[in-house]
Structures are given as structure tokens and as C-alpha cells.
Structure 1
Amino acid sequence: MNAPTSSGESAPLDTNRLALVIGNSTYPDAGSPLPQLTRDAEGLTNALRKDGFLVDAIDNATHSDMTRAIDNLRTRVHPNSIVLVYFGGYGIQSGGQNYLIPVDAKIWSEEDVRRQGVSIDRLLSQLKASGARVRLVIIEASRRNPYERRFRTYSHGLAPIQAGENALILSSAAPGQVVEEPDELHSQLMTALLTQMCSSNGIEEVFNNTRKAVVAATQGQQTPAVSSTLTETVNLWAARSGVPVASSALQPSLAASDHTDFR
């Protein structure tokens, strides 16, 4: 299934709209690659750039790749920045916290998860400390843990993610739920998300409609989670649609960075 992306000309550059997109598909310890996630990341990157985002896009990121990209993102943040982070790959919960797994992780225990993974909670805290006014996070990491047989005990799926102040988080599945994706071009989540980005303007509406669309498409077998603490209206796509934005709302726009690594 081929999901649509935003149409029309690219929006003008606005350095207050920043995105980091990571698609990890090749894990040495996994039974097979996850090519769908690389395609999802590429589809989202293209859509964001058409809507004016300055996007740093990386595929098959190692731990150093991920930490360097996060540090680079933080240096670009301004007080009025809207920051969007997407991660597609394996995610593991440990001690009630969630960790994004780089492709070079060597995991034999939960201690390895905490040492070699990238904490979602820490990432959100870093973005807040950097001054980002609005933080948007999309996590496609609710797949079966390929390392679970090495652990004495383990928990399926991800733990609930604490959004923090003025943040919006979309996860591909509810806490504790594992996603089994059909062999399609894009995942159910990305198919719905790219469609909603074309038809909706408010980012909270985009995420909520994406959740409803996935539930309908999977007949309730997959229920994405949306967590919001937004204190203002964020019309993320107004630059494309021409919809005026209230002074209290942030307006995005963007262009590509030079770090695209999709092959």
C-alpha cells in the first residue's frame, strides 16, 4: 500500500521548525530486517520537507549517530522552536522507561538496554532544556523484542511515555502492545499519518485522526497511543494550507538539511 505525502510546493524555510527522523531497519541480532521502517522514515521526511521543515534524516543509526544527531538538533533549537522527532526501529522498556535501540547495540541484559539504548524520557528532557517550545514525538518501536530470550524477565511493547510540558506524543501501539505489521510498503501508522497530514491542519487533530484510522484499518488489533500536554493550538501545516495562525500558535516551515542518509 502506497501512502500519500503532502502535495504542492514546499513551504519557505523557517528555522523554528526542526525535525530529526531516524529509521533503523537492519539489526544484526534480529531475525530479519525491517525495511518498512526505512520507507516510513523516508516518506515522513519528504512530507515534512514539503511542509517547510528543516529535517535531519538518518537510516540505520548507530548509538554515536543517534547521540550526535540529537546534540546537533539541540544546538539549532530557538525559544519558539517546534521540534519533531521520529524514530522507527526496535524499542525496549526497562524499569518503566523506554529506550530506542541503535543498530550497533549488543544487548544481552536489561543493563545493556539502559547503557546502549537512547532513553525517550531523557530525549524529551533534553529538548525541553534546550528551549524547544513545542515537542512532537512519533515512535514506531512497538515490535517484539528480538533480545527477549536473553532476559530473565521482560515486558512486551513500550511503557507509557510521559509527555512533559507542552508536548505531543504518538506511539504506534498502546503500552504493552506488540505490533505485527503486514508486508506492505508502509506501516499502518505511517499510511494513516501521511494521509492525515494531507487532510488535517492542527497537529493534535492529525495524531488523533491517525490513531482512529489505524484502529479502523486493523479492526481494533492495533491501537496507537496519543499523549498530549499541549497548552496552545499548533497549526503545523498552516504554511501549506494558507490557514491563518493565531498569535498564540506556532507556525512551521522548512527545508532539507544536508544530513540525509537514506539509501
Structure 2
Amino acid sequence: MKPLPRQWLYLLMLAAVLLVAAGRALGAGEGSEVTQARIALVIGNAAYRGDPLDNPVNDARLVAGVLKKAGFDVTLAQDLNRAALLEALRGFGNRLNENTVALLYYAGHGLQLRDRNYFIPVDAEIRSEDEIPIAGIDVGFVLGRMAHARSPVNLVILDACRNNPFLGKTVSAQGLAQMDAPVGTLLAYATAPGKLAADSGSGANGVYAAHLARHLLTPGLSVEQVFKRVREGVVRETQQQQVPWESSSLQGEFAFVPGVAAPALAQGGDEAGEIAFWNSISSASRADEYRAYLRQYPQGRFASLAQARLAAFTAAPAAVAAASAATTVGAGVAAAPATGPSTAASPALPAQAELPPSQTVAAAPVAVPAPPPSAGTLPAGVAHAQALPRVGDRWRYRVQDQFRLGDLFVSARVEALTAEGVAESWSTTSDAKLRTAVAALAPGFHELPGWTLTPPEFSPYLLAAGGWQPGEALGTTSRRVEQLSVPLQARVEGEEDIQVAAGRFRALKVVLSGRVAPRGGKAVSMEQTVWYAPAVKRMVKSTISTSVGGTLREATSFELVEYELH
């Protein structure tokens, strides 16, 4: 056989190399996973003027070292003044994107004011409560940056509330306020809301940081299990004087260190942690506190009791009746009377909840709302029952405003159908506080109690109230703008297809417009357009523009990004 020409040998060798490379590429594509960058900002503030703390810098260094071992790209910062703290948080937020796991650990002073929480820089001089937003930095700033980046896993660890130097002097509320975690976020608190955390442990570190460092690198533990073990350890060491908390809305699984989980802690430690956690909420007047317990102990000894109390809250939230007196349309439409809360004694603990003699559980009466309407009762004004939502239905909107920085996300969830309307719970990525309100079916503005950052919705469940026809007038309503009440004519313009982030829908289009020109003042004009999709059972988009004296003062849009119907 004649040998092959040299050029053929080269071609065959090249083909072999390409085939091997292609095989490796295909194998990598089939067996590999997309890795996410782990980004962490760790802050320790201790050098406060006149009241330095002992451990935050040590704690920050300890946690930073552990996070580096867990594969995080860690930025460690300490003793930050306000400008440096803001710059550190801003830089952290700028590094986040859809392919990052974001973690913020903060050790130092933290304060609450009107249900919002604030990081306190070391140069803060607070002489009155109203100066807290000026001297501190709102935790909601970080949550907003995380939401804007759409990072799938966000972890915020607040090792704050240490020996508050402002308490009783310029600040009346101690500790941090309870917040609810935005979607994809876990909020961890070193101690229960409204309580103080110890600034010392058995060594150079605070008790919370020491236990966090001890368990964070345990192979195979989910992030929820890590914090559960931290709580159990802190509760034991402090003899139940400090009870760490978490609020989580993580949608996937996350472990600091992959692997096979080791056996659980001894039963005694688990019992102590659970009992201490229950004691901290047993007299709670908020449904989300019982939800927090059930997330941590879904099969816990107090699960039945927690579910019973939660059912009483979610059937008719205590705050929704007062909210049902919101603005209504046209003359002769009266606000529904408020239904006050009733008080029910705590039911007896189930047999499996009996405790050892050394353990005590607070069982004080808890205020619960009145019973829900009977099964056959529907909200007043229902014309199309098939357009009504169901309990558990939820929607998430992106809010964009020309006069605000970044995006804001708001989420609504149906808690009950009451005689007054649809009872909802609301959360936002601005402050993450859980709010409750009733959305009446009659045309009118839907106000959220204590919320002014976004314009109110207009009748989010309008489709359930009637079979509206193109050109039909919905009456007159009004909205207050700069101390003026602007009358608005509402009308149905027709149907059209609309594309939003959640998909493409056939929607009913409603337009509100109006103008008022006071004597000696500037004219105010406003227009709001709302699209309602039967497939979604709620509004899918809304745009609002307001001008004062011909100058645009408000330009806001709501757009549905995701929803879930049951």
C-alpha cells in the first residue's frame, strides 16, 4: 500500500483534533451547570462617637473570612461614616446582576423608625427621631438595588441592635422593625424584632457572629438550615435572652457549601430553639410572625396553633376593614362600615405540644379579626364571579417613575374575599413591610395604608364588577394632588392587545382624565390609563401622568412581571 501524501496526513490529524475538541465541548455542555458569582459586602461599624462597640469589627472580619472559604468575592469595610457607607452600598449594588448571589452582612448599630430600618454610620449624631433618616441609610436602599439587579439569591444579615445608645434619649423604639423579605431574598436578624442583641460572646466575637461562622461552612446544609442551627446555638448560649429571626422568600435551593448534610443537632437544642422562637411570637398581632414560625418549623410542636391563629388573620386581616373606607366613585356610594377586631383566647395546646417542666411557653390571648363571611357571601357589587380571584392568587409589578431612581417592585396576594371586597396583603422592595388592605370592586382608587411612594391603583378588580362596554362612563372620582382635589372622569375606551413583561394579553382599557384650575394657583391636570386582562383577573398595566402649571410632576407606570392563579 502506498503511503498517504503528507497533506492528507495533516488533514486527518486536524480532523481528529477537531473531533476530540467537539466531544469535550458537548460533554461540558451536557454535564456542567451555569455557575453564579458570589458577591458579598461585609461591614463592621464599631468606632461610634462617645459609645464605641466592642465586637462588630471582629465579627465582620470573622464572617468575611468564612465567606471567602465559601467562595464569595468579599469586600470588607469597617468603621464607615455616612458617605463611605453609602458608597460601599452603592458599589455593592452596582456589581449585582441576574447571575450573582448577593450577600450583605452588617454588624453595628441599627435603628427603626415608623416601620423602616436604618444602618447607622459611625459619625451619626442623632438628636431626635426625625433625624434618623438623615443620619442613617435605609435598609430598603439595599433591597431595592437587589431587586433592580434581579439577582436570584439575596441574603441580608443584620447583626445589629447592640446596646442602643440612643434608646430613651432621642429614640423611643428599640431594636429593628419586622420586615418581610422581597421575592428571592432571605432577611436574617441577630435577634427578634424590637429586641436588643448582645455585643459580647464567650470570646472576641458577638454570640450571633460566632455561631454563624461555626455553621456556615457545614457541607450540604441549606441556607435555611444554617440559620436554624445558628438560632438554636444562640438561644442556648444566651439562655433564651436572644432569639435570632429570619424572613425568607427564596424560591430555589441554596447551600453555602455543597455536599451531604450531617445529622441534625441534638433534639434538646432543637427544642430550645423552637420554644424560644414561639415565645417571641406567642402574643403576636401580625399574621406574618406566625408565617415566620411555620417556615422555620413546618412540623413543629406549635404548628397547629400557629396555623389556627394564621387562619384567623388571613380570613379577614384586622387592618383591611379600616381601609375599605377608601375613595369611591360618584354620589351615593357609601363606604362600608369598619369591622373591628375581636379578641379570642388562645386555644389549648395539642397533646404533642406538652413541654418539659423546665420550659415555659407564653400563651397570652391574641387579638384576631372577626370571622370571615359565610361561604355563600361575596363582595358587594359582584357581577361576574368568574372574574374574581381566589385566595393565594398573587401578582408582582414593576413600578417605574421618571422622578425616582431605579425600579420598585410591588407584590399583592389575595388573603380573603370579604363582604367589602378583596382582602390583600402587599409588600414592596422599598421597605418590605407587609401591608393589608381591601380593594373594593366599585370603581375608585385603592389606597394602601401608610404608603405614598407610588400613586394609588384604580379598581384593580374592576372586571368582577360588571360587563363594561366601550364608551361606557364609569362615573366621577377624584384624587388629591398638591393639596388639590382633581375631579376625574372615568370611561371605558374599548379592548386591545397589550404586551407586558408577564406576556401578551387581551385587555379592557379604561382612561381617567381631569383638570382643575384654582383661583390664583396653578392648574393641575392628570390622566391615568389602566388595562385589565380577564386571563389575569387583575390589572396588567397602568400609566399615570400629572402636570402642575404645564410642568410634568408625575410620570409613573405599573407593569405586571409575573403572576400565579390558583
The CA deviation at 1:242 is 8.6
Q: Does 1:186 align with 2:205?
A: yes
Q: Give 1:70's aligned amino acid.
A: L
Q: Does 1:158 align with 2:185?
A: no
Q: Give 2:190's aligned amino acid.
A: S
CA distance in structure 2 between the partners assigned to 1:160 and 1:178 by the alignment? 13
* Contact kept in structure 2, 1:22 and 1:86, CA below 8 Å: yes
Aligned partner of residue 199 in structure 1, secondary structure: coil
* Contact kept in structure 2, 1:16 and 1:77, CA below 8 Å: no
Q: Does 1:234 align with 2:254?
A: yes
Corresponding residue number in structure 1 for 2:70: 51
CA distance in structure 2 between the partners assigned to 1:149 and 1:206 by the alignment? 35
Q: Deviations over 1:35-93 (max 9, x none)?
A: 31111100111111112111111000111111111111122112021100011000111
Aligned partner of residue 35 in structure 1, secondary structure: coil
* Contact kept in structure 1, 2:93 and 2:142, CA below 8 Å: no
Alignment of 1:93-132 (within 5 A): 93-132=112-151
Give the counterpart of 1:18 among 20, 39, 42: 39
* Contact kept in structure 2, 1:144 and 1:157, CA below 8 Å: no
Alignment of 1:55-94 (within 5 A): 55-94=74-113
Q: Deviations over 1:163-189 (max 9, x none)?
A: 111111111100111123446311111
Corresponding residue number in structure 2 for 1:253: none
Aligned residues: 225
Higher strand share: 2
CA distance in structure 2 between the partners assigned to 1:191 and 1:221 by the alignment? 16
Q: Give 1:231's aligned amino acid.
A: Q
Instruction: Report sequence identity in percent.
Output: 30
Q: Give 1:178's aligned amino acid.
A: L
Aligned partner of residue 106 in structure 2, secondary structure: strand
Corresponding residue number in structure 2 for 1:196: 215
The CA deviation at 1:129 is 1.1
* Contact kept in structure 1, 2:55 and 2:205, CA below 8 Å: yes
Q: Does 1:139 align with 2:158?
A: yes
Q: Give 1:160's aligned amino acid.
A: Q
The CA deviation at 1:149 is 4.0
Aligned partner of residue 19 in structure 1, secondary structure: strand
Q: Give 2:195's aligned amino acid.
A: Q
Corresponding residue number in structure 2 for 1:176: 194
The CA deviation at 1:235 is 1.8
Q: Give 1:230's aligned amino acid.
A: L
RCO comparison, higher one (Cα < 8 Å, 6+): 1
Q: Give 1:226's aligned amino acid.
A: E
CA distance in structure 2 between the partners assigned to 1:198 and 1:145 by the alignment? 31
Q: Which range moves more in the overlay, 180-189 or 77-86?
A: 180-189
The CA deviation at 1:139 is 0.7
* Contact kept in structure 2, 1:170 and 1:227, CA below 8 Å: yes
CA distance in structure 2 between the partners assigned to 1:180 and 1:77 by the alignment? 32
* Contact kept in structure 1, 2:198 and 2:206, CA below 8 Å: no
Q: Go from structure 1 to structure 2 and tell me whether the alpha carbon gap of 1:42 and 1:154 turns closer, same or farther (over 3 Å shift).
A: same
**TM score, norm. by length of structure 2:** 0.38
Q: Deviations over 1:11-42 (max 9, x none)?
A: xxx77210000000110032xx2231111100
Give the counterpart of 1:209 among 229, 235, 245: 229
* Contact kept in structure 2, 1:203 and 1:235, CA below 8 Å: yes
Q: Does 1:225 align with 2:224?
A: no
The CA deviation at 1:127 is 1.4
CA distance in structure 2 between the partners assigned to 1:74 and 1:235 by the alignment? 22
Q: Give 1:27's aligned amino acid.
A: Y
Give the counterpart of 1:28 among 49, 65, 68: 49
Can you give the 5+ residue segments of structure 2 that lack an aligned partner in the other structure? 1-34, 262-566
> Which structure's CA Rg is the greater one?
2
* Contact kept in structure 1, 2:42 and 2:64, CA below 8 Å: yes
Aligned partner of residue 150 in structure 1, secondary structure: coil
The CA deviation at 1:211 is 0.9
* Contact kept in structure 1, 2:126 and 2:132, CA below 8 Å: yes
Higher helix share: 1
Corresponding residue number in structure 2 for 1:250: none
**TM score, norm. by length of structure 1:** 0.80
Aligned partner of residue 113 in structure 1, secondary structure: helix
CA distance in structure 2 between the partners assigned to 1:116 and 1:15 by the alignment? 35
CA distance in structure 2 between the partners assigned to 1:35 and 1:181 by the alignment? 7
Aligned partner of residue 165 in structure 2, secondary structure: coil
The CA deviation at 1:120 is 1.1
Q: Which range moves more in the overlay, 212-221 or 175-184?
A: 175-184
Aligned partner of residue 45 in structure 1, secondary structure: helix
Q: Give 1:37's aligned amino acid.
A: P
Q: Go from structure 1 to structure 2 and tell me whether the alpha carbon gap of 1:44 and 1:147 turns closer, same or farther (over 3 Å shift).
A: same
Q: Give 1:214's aligned amino acid.
A: V
* Contact kept in structure 2, 1:100 and 1:118, CA below 8 Å: yes
Q: Give 1:23's aligned amino acid.
A: G
Q: Give 2:254's aligned amino acid.
A: V
* Contact kept in structure 2, 1:15 and 1:54, CA below 8 Å: no
Q: Which range moves more in the overlay, 179-188 or 34-43?
A: 179-188
CA distance in structure 2 between the partners assigned to 1:109 and 1:137 by the alignment? 27
